[in-house]
Every structure is written in structure tokens, then in C-alpha cells.
């Protein structure tokens, strides 16, 4: 049932995106002339709403993300801006519990304390679907490409009710622990590509509060 519903959703979204992306005349962006106008834009703008409401999710319902929905998320990912359109990324989606639980066992062996937490289900912050993202170290902007790809995936997912958590920790483990090597090999990245980070995805089972941000690091230069 879910699959059919999501297939329709996928077609609708892809159709919608295609219409938006292929319309002949470029849309003129509204110019905010004063703060008030900008505030009104913030309140009604879906993109801004998605960006501002997104949180990292670390508790998920057990079902993996429907693959049709994942397809839309990936479509949004690969449409991210990227240096010279080199698309210097490779992405592998894993929603196979054997893989996720198998590598988690390796992780638990090396970090027995991690599994003491009663909420611990797997090393990917308990997510049922994981996107592994590798970059081409031979291109100096490839990490930027991969970051932008991931943020597109994260935001498009959130806009469809899918939670996520960007993860560096598990990748550090996978890249350095010899017992994890068979799993890294199974991901099958091309020669020369290196696993950079992963993103946990799933249907959220928590609503965490926003973490505080600081403006101290941001300045206009006159």
C-alpha cells in the first residue's frame, strides 16, 4: 500500500520538479527592500521553513525509508551545485538490516560500552537506512561537492517527513578498523574514491529541540 502511495508521490514530486526546473522563463526572485518584507518571506517560504525546522534525528521508527521516496531524495542530492559539474561524489544506500546489524556487531566488539545504552540499536544512530558518501580526493573541491549533495538530501528528506543525521563518527571507524574492511569493500566505491561521511535516514521517532546557534562567527565586512 505504502509503496503505491509513495510511487504516486514520487511521480508527482519528480513531475513537479521537472516542471519547475524546465519552465522556459527564469523566475525573478522577489527583492526584499526592507526587513518587514524579509520577515514575511521567512514566515511563508517553504524552503526557509524546512531549513529552520530541521533537526538531527537519533531515534527512528523501524521501517526503512521507502525506496521511491529515497529516489526523490537522491534526485535532489545529485542536483546540488558541484564544482565544474564533476559530480565528484559516489553514494551507496543501505537499508539491508544484515549489513547494518553486521557492521554494528563489529563496532560493538571494539566499543562494548556503546551498546550499554538501552536505546542503542545500531552504530548509525539507530537509523534503518544509511547513505554512504565517498569523495574523489584527487579533486580539491570534492568535499564541498559531497557536503552540498548531502544537505540537499537532508533538506528534501525533511520536507517529506523523513528525519536524518549527518554522521562522521561511524565513518572514522569504518575507514580505520580492519574488521570493518569487508563492509567497506561491499559498498563498492570506485578505485580512488574515499568514504567521507554518511547520513542516517528514517521516519522520526522523536522531536528534538533546536540547538542554539551563535552569530559571533558571522560579520559583514564594509
Q: Enumerate binding residues for ligand FMN (CB under 6 A).
A: 55-56, 58, 125, 165-169, 197, 211
Which residue lies nearer to ligand FMN by CB, 13 or 154?
A: 154
Q: Of 81, 50, 79, nearest to 164 (Cα)?
A: 50
Q: In whole angstroms, how close is the CB of 168 to ligand FMN at the nearest point?
A: 3
* Residues 94, 130 contacting (CB under 8 angstroms): yes
Which residue lies nearer to ligand FMN by CB, 213 or 219?
A: 213
* Residues 163, 204 contacting (CB under 8 angstroms): yes
- Position with the least CB separation from ligand FMN: 169
Q: In whole angstroms, how close is the CB of 80 to ligand FMN at the nearest point?
A: 15
* Residues 145, 135 contacting (CB under 8 angstroms): yes
Cell of 24: 522556459
Which residue lies nearer to ligand FMN by CB, 138 or 208?
A: 208
Crossing angle (nearest 10°) for helices 169-176 and 97-110 = 80
Q: In whole angstroms, how close is the CB of 149 to ligand FMN at the nearest point?
A: 13
Which residue lies nearer to ligand FMN by CB, 125 or 135?
A: 125
Amino acid at each position: 500500500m505504502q509503496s503505491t502511495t509513495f510511487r504516486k508521490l514520487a511521480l508527482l514530486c519528480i513531475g513537479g520538479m521537472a516542471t519547475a526546473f524546465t519552465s522556459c522563463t527564469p523566475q525573478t526572485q522577489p527583492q526584499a527592500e526592507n526587513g518587514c518584507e524579509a520577515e514575511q518571506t521567512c514566515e511563508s517560504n517553504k524552503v526557509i521553513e524546512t531549513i529552520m525546522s530541521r533537526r538531527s534525528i537519533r531515534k527512528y521508527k523501524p521501517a526503512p525509508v521507502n525506496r521511491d521516496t529515497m529516489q526523490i531524495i537522491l534526485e535532489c542530492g545529485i542536483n546540488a551545485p558541484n564544482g565544474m559539474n564533476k559530480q565528484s561524489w559516489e553514494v551507496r544506500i543501505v537499508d539491508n538490516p544484515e549489513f547494518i546489524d553486521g557492521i554494528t556487531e563489529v563496532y560493538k566488539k571494539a566499543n562494548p560500552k556503546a551498546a550499554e545504552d538501552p536505546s542503542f540499536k545500531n552504530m548509525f544512530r539507530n537509523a534503518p537506512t544509511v547513505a554512504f558518501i565517498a569523495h574523489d580526493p584527487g579533486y580539491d573541491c570534492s568535499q564541498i561537492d559531497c557536503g552540498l549533495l548531502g544537505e540537499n538530501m537532508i533538506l528534501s528528506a525533511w520536507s517529506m517527513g523523513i528525519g536524518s543525521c549527518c554522521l562522521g563518527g561511524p565513518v572514522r571507524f569504518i575507514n580505520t578498523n580492519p574488521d570493518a574492511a569487508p563492509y567497506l569493500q561491499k559498498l563498492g566505491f570506485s578505485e580512488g574514491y574515499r568514504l567521507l561521511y554518511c547520513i542516517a535516514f528514517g521516519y522520526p521517532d522523536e522531536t528534538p529541540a533546536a540547538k542554539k546557534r551563535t552569530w559571533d562567527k558571522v560579520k559583514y565586512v564594509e
